[in-house]
Amino acid sequence: MEKPAAEARIQALRNDINRHNHLYYVLDAPQITDAEYDLLMRELLELENRFPELVTPDSPTQRVGAKPLEKFAQVTHRIPMLSLENALTDQDIADFDGRVKRELGMALSAEITYVCEPKMDGVAVELVFENGDFTVGSTRGDGFTGEEITQNLRTIRSIPLRLHTEAPPRLLEIRGEVYLPLDAFRKLNLERQEAGEAQFANPRNAAAGSLRQLDPRITARRPLSIFCYGPGEVAGAGFTSQSEFLATLPQWGLPVNPRAEKVNGVAGILAYYEGIGKDRDSLPYEIDGVVVKVDSLHLQRELGVKSRSPKWAIAWKFPPRQAVTVVEDIITQVGRTGVLTPTALLRPVEVSGVTVSRATLHNWDEMERKDIRIGDTVLIERAGDVIPAVVKVLPEKRTGAERPLPVPSTCPECGSEIVRIPEEVAVRCLGLSCPAQIRETIIHFASRRAMDIEGLGIKYIEQLLRLGLVKNVADLYYLVKDQFMLFERMGDKLAENLLNAIESSKKRELARFIYALGIRHVGEHTAKLLAGSFGSIEHLERATEEELLSVREIGPQVATSIRTFFDNEQNLEVIRRLFAAGVSPSVEEKRVGGRFTGKTFVFTGALTRFTREEAKKLVEGEGGHAAGSVSRKTDFVVAGEEAGSKLEKARELGVKVLTEEEFLEMLK
């Protein structure tokens, strides 16, 4: 493609991607699938890689790519971001309405038009657009000075990098609330729990922590969103009311809360508050009240501000989602990856209209930090999750009969020994036969990159478990056709295909078999290292921690995890049954005398000519080694687009850096 044609196609792709971002994030009306969106983005990336001179700061590909910061710079707000006065009762709202009328010299019988908006429980930020381009983003800070977090805010797809208008204002300052949707919050906490990391207390903490990352790539992995709610300084555009302002922003690509509503007088405010309160638990995000604003911007200016808050707005908070109850017992639940979680069984209590009888205690470190014991009187809170959490113990209520729950020594589901990996807060069961984990264990074992049992998807695995036909991965190799015929919509041919797929998986490479076992911290790359170093499961099973540590790239955490897995007698029994069924992993022969023999490669950045997996296979096929990190032993670093810290380290160490084209030349 010639440059003029590429330039036209690039612009068309950017317009298309921006339009779909607007449809998805602002209007909640997507018109294409995620896969179709990814294809558009991939084509744009490829064209921009071929014509780097055509890359512009507002391209959708430029949301992530800035280097990590050493610290945040300070930003002074042109107009202070003031806090709001709080209302707690109907009378507080009536008093606020009365004060507004008196300040304006209006009769108390007059009716003022207000705008009511859900009070988001997120992080207040300011976005600055100059001539339509997003130039600066900052936190609220103390209201007068905040921290610049422009690069982090650029990663939020609901924020346009350029306003969707042909005639943008010269200056537009927008105040908004960044939040983490509840589904994303739960998923993030589950991932952190499985990784043995501390969980976020609530979505607001998660959003705040995400925005304060010095590396924007971390922020980009958190699905943050934003609702815009108010103007700062504006030049080149005029608005007469808050409702007009909110109606205009979506036309420019900026999302506003669809539940914002114009109402009349105190009666309208009360009706809105009651309605949004009823819907609170069904909303996909956390709110903690209602913000009430005088609609007319002229009246807002006339009313002015007090020392720290505007006279024309007030926040009507919801009642606290807290209650006091008693911990009647503490039980241990086993998650799908083997993490044990202590859960408090509570004396039933009503919290914001819901009867609560359970609360998560997260982990034993957290339980010990708060000193939570069976029999304790505690304060619980419903915020950001289905299962409430214990906020604190009320020690003055103790009688002396309370008792702590120690960390169990065995799994309550399968009886396997419990392990605690150093430097992790999680307590785990590593049993391959653990009923609480078996579904995910089998899904992983049968997956394409593991044993690749073609056709054995989730729906069939769930039927196997429901019918009680498998209790661990070894049972798969003892299934017969009649058992598959018990499935819904199963025919002879399909049953035979499944049996053939199971049979053909018996000869998979040793590396894939090791990966399929699901050993903690052993991914595909580490499995290849282990297969190449030990040559068989028997040798790996008997390897000491010292022998494991002698393998290149194997550290203490991984070595301990491997040794713990093979010290579990139930795991060894499953492996023995696999071998008895005919599973016989093969060792892949390494090419001797290949062009890359003795050479170590590291791949970094966005690769466009091949995938990371394909690149590794090319290196290993020529007798070389593909590593995951750069060291003095690295011979070559192949750098794609947006290469970061690995490229910098290669330059520091004097390691030769190759482009993708130069790497392919070496293979010719």
Residues 505, 438 within the same domain: yes
In this structure, the answer to whether residues 116 and 255 fall within a common structural domain is yes
**Same structural domain, 574 and 605:** no
Across the chain, mean pLDDT equals: 87
Supply the range of the domain harboring residue 529.
408-587
Say whether both 436 and 555 belong to one domain.
yes
pLDDT per position as a tens digit, 20-71: 877 766 665 777 776 677 788 888 888 888 888 888 877 888 776 555 666 7
| 589 pLDDT higher than 60 | no
Are 326 and 456 part of one and the same domain?
no
Last residue of a domain, one of 397, 423, 454: 397
What's the CATH number where 350 sits?
A: 2.40.50.140
CA-to-CA dists, residue 214 to 63, 404, 649, angstroms: 15, 39, 18
Average pLDDT over residues 126-144: 92
Residues 279, 412, single domain; the answer is no
Q: Which of 287, 317, 347 is at the close of a domain? A: 317
Whether residues 614 and 575 share a domain: the answer is no
Say yes or no to pLDDT of 353 above 90: no
Q: What is the pLDDT of residue 394?
A: 94
Same domain, 95 and 202: yes
Model confidence at 273, pLDDT cuts 50, 70, 90, reads very high
Cα–Cα distances (Å) from 210 to 69, 139, 249, 267, 366, in that order, read 14, 12, 25, 39, 22
Q: Is residue 73 part of a domain?
A: no
Residue 592 lies in a domain: no
Assigned domain for 300 exists:
yes
Q: Are residues 94 and 225 in the same domain?
A: yes
Residue 384 pLDDT class (50, 70, 90 cuts)? very low
Separation of alpha carbons 589 and 626, rounded Å: 16
- Does the active-site annotation cover 119? yes
Answer whether residue 266 shows pLDDT above 50: yes
pLDDT at 591: 47
DSSP element (H, E) containing 104: helix 90-104
Tokens of 505: 């998986």
Asked if residue 543 and residue 453 are part of one domain, the reply reads yes
Report the CATH number at residue 191. 3.30.470.30
**How many independent structural domains does the chain possess?**
5
Domain annotation covers residue 231: yes
Pick the last residue of a domain from 270, 289, 317: 317
Please report which confidence band the pLDDT of residue 387 belongs to, taking 50, 70 and 90 as the band edges.
low
**613 membership: H or E segment, kind and range:** helix 612-621
Residue 599 Cα distances to 356, 548, 652, angstroms: 60, 22, 19
Query: Do 357 and 258 share a structural domain?
Result: no
In a domain? residue 370: yes
Is the pLDDT score of 352 beyond 80? no
Q: Looking at the domain assignment, is residue 247 inside a domain?
A: yes
Q: What is the pLDDT of residues 410-458, one digit of tens each?
A: 888 888 888 876 667 788 887 777 877 888 889 899 998 899 999 998 8
Q: Is residue 553 part of a domain?
A: yes
CATH number of 645's domain: 3.40.50.10190
Q: Please tell me which residue in 101, 119, 471, 493 is annotated as part of the active site.
A: 119
Contact 420, 427 (CB under 8 A): yes
Per the CB < 8 A criterion, the answer to whether 210 and 218 are in contact is yes
Token pair for residue 183? 């589904």
pLDDT class of 385 with cuts at 50, 70, 90: very low
| Three-state secondary structure of 324-349 | EEEEEEEEEEECCCCEEEEEEEEEEE
Residues 33, 179 share a domain: no
Is residue 113 one of the residues assigned to a domain? yes
- pLDDT, tens digit, for every residue of 368-380? 999 999 999 999 9
**Average pLDDT rounded to a whole number, residues 611-638:** 80
